[in-house]
Structure 1
Amino acid sequence: MGPPLAPGAPVKIRLDLRPVLAAFQKDGFYTNFKGEKIYKQDLKHVLVAGDVAPLSWGFDNLVNKPELELHDPNSDGIYETTLVMNAPEAAKTTAQEWCQILKTDDFPQYSSDYQLADALYNLALGEARRAVEPDSTFRTGKEWAGVWTRDISYSIILAQATLQPRLAMKSLLRKVSPQGRIIQETGTGGAYPCSTDRLIWAVAAWEVYKVTGDEAWLRKVCPIVQQSVADDVQNAYNPGTGLVRGESSFLDWREQTYPRWMQPADIYQSENLSTNAVHCQANVVLAAMARQLGHPEVAAAHERLANQIRHGVNQYRWLEKVGYYGYYGQYRYGLRVR
């Protein structure tokens, strides 16, 4: 092992993709060392990953780090990029103290006899305010720009509906398609319908209504939720089990949930506990919205759907021997062989 790189050292990475490009030209695909086929139309980016800054193992987020993308400036099949290693700002440091910088006195305040609890609460308020983009929508995370349906919906349910309801409204509406459906923007196999937990949006929208009491908001979001559920009934609801198909919700990194042999079609067929909990509550919420807006027949239909999912979860996901719902074996897949 050689000496460590000097601070700010440039490192050029070059990758010879000529065999891959030649296979694309000849066959339309390239077969990798595992026997998997990579088709020409699926090669969108060439990126480098790793565990030393500025590299990252967050594969889903690599496209948001332009310095990690390799390019072929000479069109010779050699892709390259130059990284700056050991940059001073990349060094891991721990702050010795925290001082409040952002104004948060318009948020609900908390005080107690415990100074640490007060400081942690005030720190959380500061982080909530810091999580706002210049366009007045919520940022998904430090390294995840923009609004993501799943992430922002859970944040709104947990706190942001109470803290910043108007920003919550704007962020939720950012995740509505021109056709008036909730957008499922991330997930296995190109997202929807392999991923179907977009309906957590409905629960977040209802949380905003509970905070604001804004009837205009309710009239705006109710048709969006209703149309999205109608699509899911056609594409993801299994009348045989009463459950909803699609991959897991908040434990959504597929490599941590599903075995490697499962393909997107298999993951679509799985009936996941967390995703079914989302759909059950979304139908409960939609029924409440419809009743509030004077549509009892719509409310009754979605109460039936919620009960259908609830019955399916109790029948297929309750583990009698251990006395809890099967989260560690969190999805139902395949047929029982007698």
Structure 2
Amino acid sequence: MMSIFSSLMLALTAGAHAPLWHDNLHWRGQNASMQVQPGGGFLLQAAHAKRTIPVPPYAVQTASPLFDGLYAMAQDDLRQDSVTAIHDAAYDHDQPIPCTCFETGDKWHYVWTRDLSYAVDLGLWRFDAARSRSGLRFKLSDSRVPGTPKGPFAIQDTGSGGSWPVSTDRVAWFLAARHLLDDAAFADTTWQALTATLAQDRQYAFDAGMGLYRGETSFLDWREQSYPAWMADDVVPIAQSYALSTNVLHYQALQLAAQMAEQRHDARAADYRAQAEALKAAINARFWREDRGMYMSYLGGDGAPYDTYDLLGLALAITSGVADTERARQSLANYPVWPAGSPVIWPERTDQPIYHNRAIWPFVSAYALRAARQLDDPAHIAFEITSIMRGAALAGSNMENYELTTQAVHVNDGTLSGPVVDSPRQLWSVAGYLAMVSEGVFGLEADGRIAPKLPVSLVPMLFGNRDTISLQLPGRRITLQRPKKLAGNLLVTDRIEQHGNDSVVQLKGIKAAELSLRSTVPPFAPSAPAAPQVTRNGADWQVRATAPGVLYLNGQRVGAITGTLAVPVANALQCFSLTQTGAAGLESLQSPPQCEGPVASVEGAWPRTWTAPAAGRYQVALSYRNDHGPINTGITTAVKMLAIRCAGSPEQRVPVVMPHSTGEQLSTTAQFSADAGARCRFALEQGFNMSYLAGNAHYTGEAGGVGGPLNEADVGALRIVPLAAETAP
């Protein structure tokens, strides 16, 4: 690992300068060159292969044949991704399914909700609106189970522990749909799906105590890469946790719901608006980490802060308006970069191969570019543009991802080699490249406005000796005119003249407040420690750590620990966990918790009864086993509703989630209140999972598909523990 660390540190000191890429570029001993061919096509000599690029439907004309040819290549990649049938081994036994869709890439021939949604949001709707709508419709489904709520619902694809609600980022669907509402029928479908999906997520994934939605980080769904290693075989803590990216997606979906409700004079508009504002406030209260000047990637189910960050979550927080200007600028300035580009997670993991870990993903870089544009930051705008260009040129396609320090499609590093998977013409990477050109260089906004924010450092590459550069898009053309005298560090609009479909933008230079590129950070987080050793000594718990770190109790920071620390015993649940501290005060991911406290275990047939020994709040969970699929995939997370009727109190209803398991374990937890001596009756009612969707009748990979819906687990004891007063919401 020291060799990797040394390599990273060397890369950090390499620096990055404004490129002069006209017909070629050179990077770390690799070359790429572009030649214009007779008739208007291009020939790319990538680092390790040649590619002939046909004449594109829509041309860009700059001083750089490399820039122009790569735009043509992205369109050729998009042409190859445009199909009339899709297939995947887990659906219809890999037989073709008719769909006028975008497939996901050269190695991925299906349509996945998050991939398509981010790709369309990045601009594919401009190039083929009909195909974008068709693909999005394919990712909607009604329920096939009588007596359950009707949709349509956005589909959460197969995933950790059996899919939703372990993963809850299916609401990314609405990021894409919002661009295509000019079609009345599609707008009506979107409204129906939006209200149904939000209602379902509110019922099963929203935690009113935290004010946040639960679920896995969006896109970062290979849990070993970014979550603690001890969660690899137990995804309940992920289902119980809260992710920045997924909560920002819900915020944007709620905003869209409020907007569409207002347009329809629907009384729910005020509720959606209030929910969105409350969620925004909760995100800012819970995820912001003042000492890092960034929003954390995720929180534990008990609210524990994790000293880990992801670029997509930060970019979405900025572009959505969740982050105010000051926090947005801090987040972008404090998130680290490497000369090749921005990593999708930081800090990296020493024990994981290259994929999300130690990697650049071009579509995420495109969202970071969008965030940099929102903040008028020339340094990050130029940095992300050149990173996206370089990767595509060297690889000869818009790849799924790249190794962080070399921007190579594969690096040999023993068991850590990778990227583990790297598909050419990956759809969201293609979309990211097209967005880099249309938004990043030519300033085309989602609403059709033109607002270039072009770093002066890129003028030599793009303009050379030219006075103008131009971009052709479906139905319009944008021409940028350079100012006679370059000044400042950012070119913005001086005036716009309209000549038919050609918008001619006269640029002017301004001096923008530039954010520095942070490139001197520890690359790796320290390893997570083992669970603390907890023993009772009279009125205290003796909590022992094997390495210096930080002790947490019920998600709250207790303080530094360098051996043994005494914590008073409480007549309530006390869960202890540790982090290890490393360079620059970085904390590791959390250790497994060690929980102590009085436990009531209620067995027998349902409904079950229990008497509260004292007034207060209690935590409830189920012992269960769910062997209906592997830990990493499937659609059969068991989702139930626990109805709790305690004497003297209204009925309390709480969702309980039981993902796929490798043995007997505890479900997600929920809280309820009871008076002293109250007799409580617990009834377990049916919930909803992704196997209920009619679209998953095509699923042949595991249980719950072609054989019919399945939402069951082997349920054992009901576990009840008292909560300390301060942990109550």
Judge same fold: TM > 0.5, yes or no: yes
Q: What SS class does the counterpart of residue 82 from structure 2 fall into?
A: coil
Could you tell me which residue of structure 2 aligns to residue 148 of structure 1?
112
Are the equivalent residues in 2 in contact too, given 1:182–1:199 (CA < 8 A)?
yes
Q: 1:305 aligns with which of 267, 270, 275?
A: 275
Q: What SS class does the counterpart of residue 132 from structure 2 fall into?
A: helix
Instruction: Kindly provide the amino acid, as one letter, of the partner of residue 125 in structure 1.
Output: Q
Are the equivalent residues in 2 in contact too, given 1:195–1:246 (CA < 8 A)?
yes
Could you tell me which residue of structure 2 aligns to residue 273 of structure 1?
244
TM-aligned CA deviation for residue 293 of structure 1: 2.9
Distance 2:198 2:138 in 1: 18
Are the equivalent residues in 1 in contact too, given 2:53–2:69 (CA < 8 A)?
no
Are the equivalent residues in 2 in contact too, given 1:194–1:267 (CA < 8 A)?
yes
After superposition, give the CA deviation of every residue in 1:149-201 in whole Å (9 maximum; x if it has no partner). 01110110012111111101000110111231111012211101100000000
Q: Count residues with an aligned counterpart.
A: 237
Could you tell me which residue of structure 2 aligns to residue 51 of structure 1?
none
Are the equivalent residues in 2 in contact too, given 1:236–1:245 (CA < 8 A)?
yes
Q: 1:99 aligns with which of 37, 46, 52?
A: 52
Distance 1:187 1:307 in 2: 30
Could you tell me which residue of structure 1 aligns to residue 137 of structure 2?
173
Q: What SS class does the counterpart of residue 249 from structure 1 fall into?
A: coil
Distance 1:286 1:236 in 2: 18
Could you tell me which residue of structure 2 aligns to residue 111 of structure 1?
61
After superposition, give the CA deviation of every residue in 1:98-134 in whole Å (9 maximum; x if it has no partner). 3234x742xx542212211111111111111211222
Pick which of 279-288 and 268-277 moved more.
279-288
Instruction: Kindly provide the amino acid, as one letter, of the partner of residue 184 in structure 1.
Output: Q
Distance 2:249 2:180 in 1: 17
Could you tell me which residue of structure 2 aligns to residue 133 of structure 1?
83
Q: 2:295 aligns with which of 311, 315, 325?
A: 325
Distance 1:293 1:257 in 2: 42
Distance 2:230 2:65 in 1: 51
Are the equivalent residues in 1 in contact too, given 2:103–2:110 (CA < 8 A)?
yes
Instruction: Kindly provide the amino acid, as one letter, of the partner of residue 168 in structure 2.
Output: T
Alignment of 1:1-338 (within 5 A): 94-96=48-50, 98-101=51-54, 104-105=56-57, 108-135=58-85, 136-179=100-143, 180-209=152-181, 213-262=182-231, 263-295=234-266, 297-327=267-297, 330-334=298-302, 335-337=554-556
Are the equivalent residues in 2 in contact too, given 1:317–1:332 (CA < 8 A)?
no
Distance 1:307 1:265 in 2: 28
Distance 1:111 1:332 in 2: 50
Change (3 A) 1:215 1:291: farther
Distance 1:287 1:177 in 2: 23
Could you tell me which residue of structure 2 aligns to residue 73 of structure 1?
none
TM-aligned CA deviation for residue 208 of structure 1: 2.2
Distance 1:120 1:331 in 2: 40
TM-aligned CA deviation for residue 258 of structure 1: 1.2
- Larger proportion of strand: 2
Distance 1:223 1:193 in 2: 20
Are the equivalent residues in 1 in contact too, given 2:59–2:68 (CA < 8 A)?
no
TM-aligned CA deviation for residue 239 of structure 1: 0.6
Structure with the larger RCO, 1 or 2 (CA within 8 Å, 6+ apart): 2
User: After TM superposition, where is structure 1 displaced by more than 6 Å over at least 4 residues in a row?
Assistant: none
Instruction: Kindly provide the amino acid, as one letter, of the partner of residue 126 in structure 1.
Output: D
Are the equivalent residues in 2 in contact too, given 1:219–1:293 (CA < 8 A)?
no
Are the equivalent residues in 2 in contact too, given 1:236–1:246 (CA < 8 A)?
yes
Q: Structure 2: which 5+ residue stretches go unaligned?
A: 1-46, 86-99, 144-151, 303-553, 559-729
Distance 2:299 2:218 in 1: 11
Distance 1:170 1:100 in 2: 27
Distance 1:200 1:318 in 2: 22
Instruction: Kindly provide the amino acid, as one letter, of the partner of residue 251 in structure 1.
Output: L
Are the equivalent residues in 2 in contact too, given 1:243–1:308 (CA < 8 A)?
no
Distance 1:260 1:325 in 2: 22
TM-aligned CA deviation for residue 311 of structure 1: 1.1
Are the equivalent residues in 2 in contact too, given 1:104–1:125 (CA < 8 A)?
yes
After superposition, give the CA deviation of every residue in 1:292-335 in whole Å (9 maximum; x if it has no partner). 3332x2222111121122111101100112222113xx333323
Are the equivalent residues in 2 in contact too, given 1:149–1:183 (CA < 8 A)?
yes
TM-aligned CA deviation for residue 218 of structure 1: 0.8
Please report the RMSD computed on the Cα atoms of aligned residues, expressed in angstroms.
Answer: 1.9
Are the equivalent residues in 1 in contact too, given 2:180–2:187 (CA < 8 A)?
no
After superposition, give the CA deviation of every residue in 1:240-280 in whole Å (9 maximum; x if it has no partner). 11111000102222111211322221111110111111111
Q: Larger C-alpha radius of gyration, 1 or 2? A: 2
Distance 1:331 1:115 in 2: 46
Instruction: Kindly provide the amino acid, as one letter, of the partner of residue 108 in structure 2.
Output: W
